A and B are shown apart, each in its own frame.
Chain A
Amino acid sequence: MTDIKRRDFIRTTGGIAMLGATLGFPHVAMGAPRRVVVVGGGVGGCTVAKYLRKLDPNLAVTLIETKTSYTTCFMSNEVLSGERTLESITFGYDGLRRHGVEVVTDTVVGIDPVKKTVTTAGGKGFDYDACVVSPGIGFKWDAIDGYDEAVAEDIPHAWNAGPQTKILRRQLQAMRPGGRVIIVAPPNPFKCPPGPYERASQIALYCKHHNPRAKILILDAKDAFSKQGLYVEGWTKLYGYGSGNSMIEWVSAAAGGKVESLDPTTRTLQAEIEEFQGDVVNIIPPQKAGPIAFAADLVDGDWCPVDKRTFESKRHKDIYVLGDASSAAKMPKSAYAANSQAKVAAAAIINRFNGREPGDPTFVNTCYSVVGEDFGISVAAVYTLNAATNTIEEMPKSGGVSPANASPEIRKREVSYAHSWFKNVINDMME
């Protein structure tokens, strides 16, 4: 038998790979480095910056973000329940700096796709060879009468984590015994499809410990929601859902859940059929791409159309749009999706710099929700590109949600996987 040990084998093939790189893929070795400007320091922006530098250390990568740290929206529902602190989901950008990314604290106000320049509120201009825009979501403030950005200081959306999360947490803590929390869930598409229902779950977890007679009412603009069967299973087991004394109640659009207006002084919501008054009201407004996407003329309707092979904008060449702001159906607007898209875009940008055609993309989404103590659930999908229709499609026979009525042990494991996922996705995007 020929005895090739795995390590020798790897050394050999690694050598061949390097030879291939030298002969087959000549890099531009002379002249100034190519410049990539990344707009937005969330999952998409951080991941693309890190992976651009990882794949080609010669690139000059600048990331521009308004805030000096990133507070993840994912896991922020656990801040509401008190299971974790806001600090535990807040991360600085030094990890990216260690990867050689220049991180600039400023707000991008415009992108000139002809001159290829990004301008900031601070009056600076950044020239680019490629620009990546990953601005996250914006809110449609005019969708619910009486609700706007100023009112949100008192009646929070908490759909971008940070100060808004703190407001909602404080209000929950201050709520009278037996009070009522109302969550207004948005219409599709929106960031984190299972999020409003995980929020209801985590608030129920808090109330179970600190305010056991409290009620949580979800007023929904939809008739169905992500992981619905699993949520109902968890709510039934943990919070008496379906019984006369359920802590959580869900009102679908068909049952009159769609909210039309708010009276902020009395915290009263006018829905299609009835009025509802809450002690704590959390309105998650309908959503669209973040403001810079509109300012830079990257939208068609509410979201940014992209070539799904590369995530390059369909509206302007050499600008790429990632994450929640992009129109990337059938991928959801999730952290994992943005992380996955960012790697496809990073490879596509480097291929273009080197005069190569983009490769075939591949994507994954994984999303965990923690319904309560020892009760985690998930959804996963592996995606491929249908180039003919420019759509991202799920691979057949794969993906889907956690099985119904799984053992307590499996549900418990999914909580530990949710928390481990959080550590790894943070690591992969910015450490």
Chain B
Amino acid sequence: MTKNVRNLLLAVLTLLPGAALAGPSGEALAFTCAGCHGTDGSSVGPSMPSIAGMDPEVFVDAMKAYQADKRNATIMNRIARGYSDEQLKDMGWFFAKQRLHLTPQKHDAALAARGARLHEKHCEKCHENGGRPGDAGTLAGQWMPYLDHTMADFLSGKRDWPRKMKRKVDAAIAEEGKQAIPALIHYYGSQQ
């Protein structure tokens, strides 16, 4: 059984009436996130990432990394530890089904254009469609201050690189120098 088929079956089971086990629903769990991540996961606060439309596996992986203190967290490590694996999956599926609403952000168009080229060359393979919600973390339209924090954590070694990512980022920096990361962030921030 492939992972996708298994996930599909699990999702179907949780949706069937009467199949619900004791405990809060995925929706009820996800509603508690909105105070910081916006209604249904579309954030309007520049430091908090939008999580609407996020891939459920990326969501669960992120929460488990927070639980294990593997990210340079301020608060998410403390919150993530309040949930079971099953609850994280339920929340992940709730957010996966939500439409992402983006807020326009101020950006430098010339820098964003350079970022677009860098993205196409180095990032698009994993962050498909310009980084729209997909199998990797959402980048398109994501809040720029959040992306700033995240990239700073990768570059300072406070967060482990996902497979292949370090090589790709190094290549982008080799090509564009110090402006590579700001260019990418302005590109993502420019997308609507």
Contact = CB atoms under 8 A, between A and B. Distances in A.
A364 B35 contact: yes
B104 interface: no
B28 A344 contact: yes
A424 B32 CA distance: 12
A347 B96 CA distance: 21
Given A366-B75, A420-B45, A12 B39 contact: no
Interface in A351-370: 359-364, 366
Interface string A410-431: 1001101101111111011001
Given A382-B82, A399-B82, A424-B44, A14 B17 contact: no
A397 B81 contact: yes
Contact of A4 (B8, B39, B82, B145): B8
Interface residues of B, number: 49
A16 B97 CA distance: 13
A416 B46 contact: yes
Nearest to B17: A24
Contacts of A394: 82
A164 interface: no
Nearest to B18: A24
A392 to B, nearest CB: 13
B24 A362 contact: yes
A25 B17 CA distance: 8
B33 A364 contact: yes
- At the interface, is chain B mostly helix, strand, loop or mixed? loop
- At the interface, is chain A mostly helix, strand, loop or mixed? helix
A343 interface: yes
B130 to A, nearest CB: 16
Contacts of A428: 34-35, 38-39
A328 to B, nearest CB: 14
B81 A366 contact: no
Given A424-B48, A427-B38, A343 B28 contact: yes
A370 to B, nearest CB: 13
A24 B16 CA distance: 8
B47 interface: yes
B149 interface: yes
Contacts of B47: 413, 416-417, 419-420
Given A9-B7, A364-B33, A413-B47, A16 B17 contact: no
A361 B24 contact: yes
B79 A416 contact: no
A2 interface: yes
A360 B24 contact: yes
B161 interface: no
A380 interface: yes
B75 A417 contact: yes
Contacts of A402: 74-75
Given A343-B28, A395-B81, A4 B35 contact: no
Nearest to A25: B17
Contacts of A295: none
Contact of A364 (B11, B39, B55, B79): B79
B166 interface: no
Contacts of A340: 31-32, 35
Nearest to A1: B2
A177 interface: no
B29 A362 contact: yes
A17 B2 contact: no
Interface string A44-78: 00000001001000000000000000000000000
B97 A14 contact: yes
B74 A378 contact: yes
A340 B2 CA distance: 37
Given A13-B15, A395-B81, A366 B74 contact: no
B97 A10 contact: yes
B23 interface: yes
Contacts of A366: 35-36, 75, 79
Contacts of A163: none
Contacts of A24: 16-18
A286 B100 CA distance: 44
Interface string A176-195: 00000000000000000000
29 contacts: A1-B2, A4-B8, A9-B7, A10-B97, A13-B93, A14-B97, A16-B12, A20-B15, A335-B35, A343-B31, A344-B28, A359-B28, A360-B24, A364-B35, A364-B79, A378-B75, A380-B75, A382-B32, A398-B78, A398-B81, A399-B79, A399-B82, A402-B74, A417-B74, A420-B45, A421-B45, A424-B44, A424-B48, A428-B39
Given A382-B83, A421-B35, A427-B39, 12 more contacts: A13-B8, A17-B15, A343-B28, A362-B24, A362-B29, A364-B32, A366-B35, A366-B36, A366-B79, A378-B74, A402-B74, A416-B145
Interface of B: 2, 4-5, 7-8, 11-12, 15-18, 22-25, 28-29, 31-39, 43-48, 55, 72, 74-75, 78-83, 93, 96-97, 134-135, 145, 149
Nearest first, the 6 A-B pairs at minimum CB distance are A382-B82, A420-B45, A24-B17, A398-B82, A362-B24, A364-B32
